[in-house]
Structure 1
Amino acid sequence: MSWSAYEEGTSAYDGGAGAFDGEGFEPPLDPASGGELFDPADIMGTPDPMEWTDFLDPHDGAEIDHGDAPALTGVADLPNHNPAHSDPHAVVGDPGGAMGVWHQHTGEGGCAIGAQGMVLAYLTGERVSEEQLTAEAAARGWFDGAGTSPDALGNLLELHGVRVQHTEGASLAQLQEVLSRGDAAIVGLDADEIWAPGHDLADDTLGDLPGIPGQDANHAVWVTGFDHSDPAHPMVVLNDSGHPEGQGLMVPLDEFLAAWQDSGNLLVTAERPEA
């Protein structure tokens, strides 16, 4: 797998201590503990050091500061989208704007929860912590402490009032149409085909759960745009909550298509609410 030499992304955030606000929410019973209350901390691990607020404008030229985000051994220095270096007429979607709500998930198997949280913030402005979203998903059987099944991908968005549509066997044209009309797209894919070899994918369990037999999909990401600034090397732009450099991650189109195919071209469309 080869990557073209692109400059690093240009957005930044200020680190902060996030907090889980459990007011008005009663944690569910944990069947594995004999009836004790489910504690999101059991599956979340160390709280996310990043807040949803204080993101800087992705066009301001500042460097990305990943704060206390854990380093991943063996992950290459992947290219990131830079709005200032792209032809705006050759970009589909709003990858620059979407970079402003990127964050790295911290919970085990939290890629689908991370993707839905970012999309929720982008489409509605509602900022919900990863801890709260995890607790909401677990309470309803959408998250088992290890991952989210493909059938449940998008349920958190619906819970918060966003209309969602599932499409299996989606085409590239359908995906680009979703972005061109201002909606958001979450897809299942094989992270092995877009990340550098050597990364530990143990917490990316989308493809390890029932529902995608014989396939290698193990990850969920938010597709934020397509960049055709270099027509000979079209790029797909992702907000990937599972990658420490996943803010506007640039993936060659052919590599993305190969990775997406492993989920049966699963596409979850989140519709932008009407004004």
Structure 2
Amino acid sequence: MTWNTYDGGSNAYDGEGFEPAMDPVSGGDLFDPTDLTGTPDPVEWTDFLDPHDGAEIDHGDAPALVGAADLPNYVSAHSDPHAVVGDPGGAMGVWHQHTGEGGCAIGAQGMVLEYLTGERVSEEQLTAEAAARGWFDGAGTSPDAVGNLLELHGVRVDHTEGASLAQLQEVLSRGDAAIVGLDADEIWAPGHDLADDTVGDLPGIPGQDANHAVWVTGFDHSDPARPMVVLNDSGHPDGQGLMVPLDEFMDAWQDSGNLLVTAERPEA
């Protein structure tokens, strides 16, 4: 099982355990859902269709995530500090976009490591450490190995499957860090219908599986009618403090079985 990353030129899904899904916006032919006899071809980001005019989008040399303008970035001055859980503003200071294919879990761990300990370790070193120990296969990190790099560098880690929203918010409220698995398509694609997961209903196709790992840095309840989840997403070009509506986040998170990897802040 491997995690997906946003990459303007490479296969979006390239690894064991995750199958490409139909474009949730246009219903474009990422694969033929009536063909249940074989493995769908890897998805190219150029296969995504523009939700406005239906034209094929070429991300080419200058990746521009579809709908990025619909996903704002956290600004502390625009939020009620009493309505914010976690430290999304402080966490933004250690965000960086990963460069290696399938490196979202490595990127998330690297950011968390720097945030909790002040230790900045390069993506190249973390990738080499993970590969040498069988935690990274060149395409991605298995869910049960997320957090191993943090433990290697002295951070205590706990894995929880089937975690609740209350558990996630409790992790952040006490100053620890949270990495989750989710379906990136459900937070990156504009206009995704949360009730429309038809691919997952087809026999033989696990259409709702998670394909990405991110660091959840906070919750912003400044607008009670529209609570937001704040992410440091190393796979998104604008992933520094990326704000995602809570309902969309919950739908994407449940595709990983609500996997929560808690990294504890070391005691002073």
TM-score (norm 1): 0.68
CA RMSD of aligned residues (A): 1.6
User: 2:266 aligns to what?
Assistant: 273
User: 2:36 aligns to what?
Assistant: none
The secondary structure found in structure 1 opposite 2:243 is strand
Counterparts of 1:180 and 1:96 in 2: how far apart (Å)?
14
User: 2:147 aligns to what?
Assistant: 154
User: 1:76 aligns to what?
Assistant: 68
* 1:197-208 correspondence to structure 2 within 5 Å: none
The secondary structure found in structure 2 opposite 1:247 is coil
Counterparts of 2:120 and 2:76 in 1: how far apart (Å)?
24
Task: Indicate whether 1:164 and 2:157 are aligned.
Answer: yes
Counterparts of 1:243 and 1:166 in 2: how far apart (Å)?
24
* 1:82-161 correspondence to structure 2 within 5 Å: 82-161=75-154
> Does the CA contact (< 8 Å) of 1:70 and 1:244 recur in 2?
no
User: 1:236 aligns to what?
Assistant: 229
TM-score (norm 2): 0.70
TM-fit CA distance, 1:144: 0.3
The secondary structure found in structure 1 opposite 2:188 is coil
State the 4+ residue runs in structure 1 displaced beyond 4 angstroms.
Answer: none
In structure 1, stretches of 5+ residues that fail to align are 1-68, 199-212
Deviation by residue 1:21-69 (Cα, 9 ceiling, x = unmatched): xxxxxxxxxxxxxxxxxxxxxxxxxxxxxxxxxxxxxxxxxxxxxxxx9
Identity percentage of aligned residues: 91
User: 1:46 aligns to what?
Assistant: none
The secondary structure found in structure 2 opposite 1:141 is coil
Counterparts of 1:104 and 1:82 in 2: how far apart (Å)?
19
Counterparts of 2:190 and 2:132 in 1: how far apart (Å)?
35
Counterparts of 1:159 and 1:136 in 2: how far apart (Å)?
9
TM-fit CA distance, 1:216: 1.4
Q: How many residues align?
A: 193
Deviation by residue 1:176-210 (Cα, 9 ceiling, x = unmatched): 00000000000000001000269xxxxxxxxxxxx
In structure 2, stretches of 5+ residues that fail to align are 1-60, 192-205
The secondary structure found in structure 1 opposite 2:120 is coil
